Amino acid sequence: MSTAVIAPVNPMSADGKETVMNVMRRDRANFTRLVEDPKNADAAADQYDVVLGFARVFDAKKDWPDAQAAYRVTMKIAVLNYVKDPSATSWRDKAEEAERASVVAGQAAESTPADPPH
């Protein structure tokens, strides 16, 4: 069995920042799969703050499609938690806030011209 050698990445360099963004995109996709699979949804239920952090980074970078997707995942996580404990109404509020942020990111994605291919 061979192992790949991975060079260290400086997250402050231009290449490093893109690597970090790609890792966040991959992780957001993984959380999406977890939340959408009823067998695994509980595994994602306590990761609201992590995914919300991803959404906010994508939002700050004006990466609207990824921001919208991450906000949707945070909304689903909040709904899962609210369904598990309806007395915890803060989850309902968090779900509504994430839904609004997802809509805003979606509108920004529609109104922002796509980057030309590199």
**pLDDT digit string, tens, across residues 6-26:** 667 777 777 778 888 888 899
Please state the domain extents for the chain.
14-111
* pTM of the shown model: 0.79
Q: What is the pLDDT of residue 74?
A: 95
Give the closest residue to 54 by CA, choosing from 25, 97, 11. Answer: 25
Mean pLDDT of 67-90: 94
- Under the banding of pLDDT at 50, 70 and 90, the label for residue 2 is low
pLDDT of 68 over the 80 cut = yes
What residue has token string 């991803």? 54
Report angle CA 53, 30, 57 to the nearest 5 degrees.
Answer: 20
Instruction: Take residue 69 and report the two structure tokens written for it.
Output: 């997707």
